[in-house]
Structure 1
């Protein structure tokens, strides 16, 4: 038996009462766990299975290549992110993004710390924090753009050039990318409301070029509608 701490990215019902949890853990990166009986009528802990909740698990290692089973789990800290429709939408979008695009990520303390930092910002009603967080993830993974004197970000090469190469990456959007990458306090940068939709679209285009097997989160349409 061992213990792991991780952020819940998704839970999938398995059979009538069981579940498979996908988590990003502090100790081992992306992991999947089997949780028995969580959906039985008497089990009140199902209420803890909310995206990006930070949980501590006691585990029974799986045999051979089998996944570990969760014996017990507890909430590490409580965040009131689910009563506000905007923060709730951001939580589901980011958990969806991470669940689809971190499946091959091993232990990475920087990503774990970055998730903690992002949730703290979101708890403070920073409604643009997901945009900053996604750029920080690209930076941690070593695929963020290289800064130079160019005005327009070329999403395919990951460099700034003197000429527009993609319609989304105009001077304003490219400037926001530069500001976030160069800043030591990027969460303090204010992204104009009128540019946030295009800026998020630009991040997803960039991810398409630079993240292996990148998939657009299925919750994209919802978050775009909420923040229109």
Structure 2
């Protein structure tokens, strides 16, 4: 089936001497994998290797086949030319972390999710246009749970002395996957932050590490496919 759709690049892996296998999250059909034959040796054409930087937002003409087979792209162009994501070291580290994170939690079997696509597109553009982004990945991971269906239930936040990560809600008892004290206080603060408040709502290095560990455990408990990103170590060093 021929489609014309927006697509966000999730990953690009070299295949053979001159080809790439690219995963894109598309507006029309969700996650799709594409074989771009000979693209690494091609100097001209409607599909160029420079387009497939992680989290690039493209408009593509593609052929989508049955599930389980690789698809093809006949034409691609950039929808949102990046101003800073290619050159800012902190933002590059965030981009690689986010793209690896998304690669581990989104599968082709899930199909389209327009809410998720719109969220990704808007937040990537936001990241490109703002400067104070050291805590971007924390807010991103929290807000992403809204699109995936397991955003924390905050209905009893004021009464809860504990938060149960496995149940995703505030409780009045301790347990194996329950946070409390400083960890709970930082988690509550993170839940209340919006992207446009990142310039004024800051965490220290240690506080950021605590919140991130909580969020990674939260994802691990709710998504069986989740794996801890290898790029996390690099991101943590860059943000020191």
Give the TM-score of the pair, scaled to structure 2: 0.84
Question: Are 2:71 and 1:56 equivalent residues in the alignment?
Answer: no
Which sits farther off after the overlay, 127-136 or 59-68?
A: 59-68
Structure 1 match to 2:152? 145
Question: Do the aligned partners of residues 106 and 176 (structure 1) sit closer, same or farther apart at CA in structure 2, a change above 3 Å counting?
Answer: farther
How far off is 1:18 after superposition? 1.2
What is the CA–CA distance in structure 2 between the aligned matches of 1:25 and 1:170, rounded to whole Å? 39
* 8 Å contact kept, 2:104–2:225: no
Q: 2:236 is matched with which residue: 198, 203, 224? A: 224
Structure 2 match to 1:17? 18
Structure 2 match to 1:192? 203
Question: May I ask how many residue pairs the two structures share in their alignment?
Answer: 227
Report SS of the residue matched to 1:127.
coil
Question: Do the aligned partners of residues 215 and 43 (structure 1) sit closer, same or farther apart at CA in structure 2, a change above 3 Å counting?
Answer: farther
Structure 2 match to 1:119? 124
Question: Do the aligned partners of residues 86 and 65 (structure 1) sit closer, same or farther apart at CA in structure 2, a change above 3 Å counting?
Answer: closer
What is the CA–CA distance in structure 2 between the aligned matches of 1:167 and 1:193, rounded to whole Å? 24
Question: Are 2:224 and 1:208 equivalent residues in the alignment?
Answer: no
Superposed, 1:60-209 pairs within 5 Å as 60-62=63-65, 66-79=69-82, 80-103=84-107, 104-123=109-128, 124-125=130-131, 126-147=133-154, 148=156, 149-163=159-173, 165=175, 169-181=179-191, 185=194, 187-188=196-197, 190-194=201-205, 195-209=207-221
Gaps of 5+ in 2: none
Gaps of 5+ in 1: none
What is the CA–CA distance in structure 1 between the aligned matches of 2:102 and 2:152, rounded to whole Å? 20
Question: Do the aligned partners of residues 64 and 50 (structure 1) sit closer, same or farther apart at CA in structure 2, a change above 3 Å counting?
Answer: closer
Structure 2 match to 1:3? 4
What is the CA–CA distance in structure 1 between the aligned matches of 2:161 and 2:195, rounded to whole Å? 19
For residues 133-184 of structure 1, the C-alpha deviation after alignment (integer angstroms, 9 at most, x for no partner) is 111111222212212121322212222234554699343432343355466x
Report SS of the residue matched to 1:216.
coil
How far off is 1:186 after superposition? 5.1
Question: Do the aligned partners of residues 110 and 181 (structure 1) sit closer, same or farther apart at CA in structure 2, a change above 3 Å counting?
Answer: farther
What is the CA–CA distance in structure 2 between the aligned matches of 1:117 and 1:6, rounded to whole Å? 13
